[in-house]
C-alpha cells in the first residue's frame, strides 16, 4: 500500500475538506483526488463521500483511518530504527486544546518542541464541542493528545491530571444572595445561569450535580470562553459557577458552596489503545516544563 496515498487519505479525514487537505500537503486538488481514488480502487471500497458543502468518511473510511495512521507510525518507527540519531524525529503530531487555557504555555511548548524536532509537523486545533469533542477526536484517531476540562474515566484513554479546580458561585453584587456566606444548589435552582455549552467539562460537572440533587436549572446564556462568564454575571444576566482560582471582577460577589462542593480537573489525554509515537513521547516529556501553576487556567 502506497505511503503517499495513505497520507492523502489521512489529510482529507482530518481536514474534512479536499481544498484544505491539498493546501496542507502542497499538492493540487486533482492530484489529491486521484490519490484517494487510487486507494479506493486498491481497497475495492469507497472511503470518502463529498458534496459541494461537505466531506464525510464512509463506514470503510472510518475503519481505515486508525489503521492508516498506525501504518504510517510503524513506517516512521522502522525508519528511525535504522537511521542515525542525528536524523531526528519525523511524522506529525496533532494536539487539541481548550480556549483561553494559559496554565500550559502551549505556544512556548510548541516552539520548544519544534526547535528540538523540526522534522515533525505540529498541528494545534480546538474543538467547538469542548471536552466531549476532544475525547471523540482522540478515540477516532484524528488527534494524538488533547487537554480536556474534566477528569475523564475511560479505559480507552490514558489520562494525566494537571490541576484540580474547585468551583464557587458568582452572583451580581446587587443580587439577593450576595449577602449570604454560603449557598446550596437548592438556593439557585430557580435562577437563570450563564454556563459553558454542552460537551464542556464544567457544564458536565454542574449538570451532574443538579441531577444527583434531583434539581433542575435554566441555562439562559451559553459562553464557550470560561474567562468571560463573570462579565455576563456582572450585567445581571444570571448566576454562574467559576473556579476559585480565578480573580473575581468588580460588580460580582463569589460565594462558596455549602457541603462537599464541586470541582473538575484539567487533564491531558491520549489513546490507551494505540502505541505512542516517538513524537508523542517527546511532546509529553516536554509538557511538565511548560506548566505554570501560578496561572488561573
Number of domain units in the chain: 2
CA distance 190 to 100: 29
Per-residue pLDDT tens over the stretch 58-68: 999 999 998 89
Residues 6+ apart with CB under 8 A from 75: 3
Angle 111-114-120 from CA coordinates, rounded to 5°: 145
Q: What is the mean pLDDT of residues 170-198?
A: 94
Grade residue 101 by pLDDT with cuts at 50, 70 and 90: confident
| Residue-number span of the structural domain to which 208 is assigned | 91-297
Tell which wins on pLDDT, 175 or 89.
175
Whether 283 shows a pLDDT value over 90: the answer reads yes
Residues 64 and 109 in one domain: no
Residues 6+ apart with CB under 8 A from 171: 177, 178, 233, 239, 252, 253, 255
Per-residue pLDDT tens over the stretch 208-252: 999 999 999 999 999 988 889 999 999 999 999 999 988 888 999
Residues 141 and 22 in one domain: no
Q: Tell me if the pTM is above 0.95.
A: no
Per-residue pLDDT tens over the stretch 133-165: 999 889 888 899 999 988 778 888 999 999 999
CA distance 76 to 128: 31
CATH number of the domain within which 258 lies: 3.40.190.290
State residue 69's pLDDT score: 87
Residues 148 and 273 in one domain: yes
Residues 6+ apart with CB under 8 A from 254: 168, 169, 170, 242, 244, 248
- Tell which of 53, 72, 87 closes a domain: 87
Amino acid at each position: 500500500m502506497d505511503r503517499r496515498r495513505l497520507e492523502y487519505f489521512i489529510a482529507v479525514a482530518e481536514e474534512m475538506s479536499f481544498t484544505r487537505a491539498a493546501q496542507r500537503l502542497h499538492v493540487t486538488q486533482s492530484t489529491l483526488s486521484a490519490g484517494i481514488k487510487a486507494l479506493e480502487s486498491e481497497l475495492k471500497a469507497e472511503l470518502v463521500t463529498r458534496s459541494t458543502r461537505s466531506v464525510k468518511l464512509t463506514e470503510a473510511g472510518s475503519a481505515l483511518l486508525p489503521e492508516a495512521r498506525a501504518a504510517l507510525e510503524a513506517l516512521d518507527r522502522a525508519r528511525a530504527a535504522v537511521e542515525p540519531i542525528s536524523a531526528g524525529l519525523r511524522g506529525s503530531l496533532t494536539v487539541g486544546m481548550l480556549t483561553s487555557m494559559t496554565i500550559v504555555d502551549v505556544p512556548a511548548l510548541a516552539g520548544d518542541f519544534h526547535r528540538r524536532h523540526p522534522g515533525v509537523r505540529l498541528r494545534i486545533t480546538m474543538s467547538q464541542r469542548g471536552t466531549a469533542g476532544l475525547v471523540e477526536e482522540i478515540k477516532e484517531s484524528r488527534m494524538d493528545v488533547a487537554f480536556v476540562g474534566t477528569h475523564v474515566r475511560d479505559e480507552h484513554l490514558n489520562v494525566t491530571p494537571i490541576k484540580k479546580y474547585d468551583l464557587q458561585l458568582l452572583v451580581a453584587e446587587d443580587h439577593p444572595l450576595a449577602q449570604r456566606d454560603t449557598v446550596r444548589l437548592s438556593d439557585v435552582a430557580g435562577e437563570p445561569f450563564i454556563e459553558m455549552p454542552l460537551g464542556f467539562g464544567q457544564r458536565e460537572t454542574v449538570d451532574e450535580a443538579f441531577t444527583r440533587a434531583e434539581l433542575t436549572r435554566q441555562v439562559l446564556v451559553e459562553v464557550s470562553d470560561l474567562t468571560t462568564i463573570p462579565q455576563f454575571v456582572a450585567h445581571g444576566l444570571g448566576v454562574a459557577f467559576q473556579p476559585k482560582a480565578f480573580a473575581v471582577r468588580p460588580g460580582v460577589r463569589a460565594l462558596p458552596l455549602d457541603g462537599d462542593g464541586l470541582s473538575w480537573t484539567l487533564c491531558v489525554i491520549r489513546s490507551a489503545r494505540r502505541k505512542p509515537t516517538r513524537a508523542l513521547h517527546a511532546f509529553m516529556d516536554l509538557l511538565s516544563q511548560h506548566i505554570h501553576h501560578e496561572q488561573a487556567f
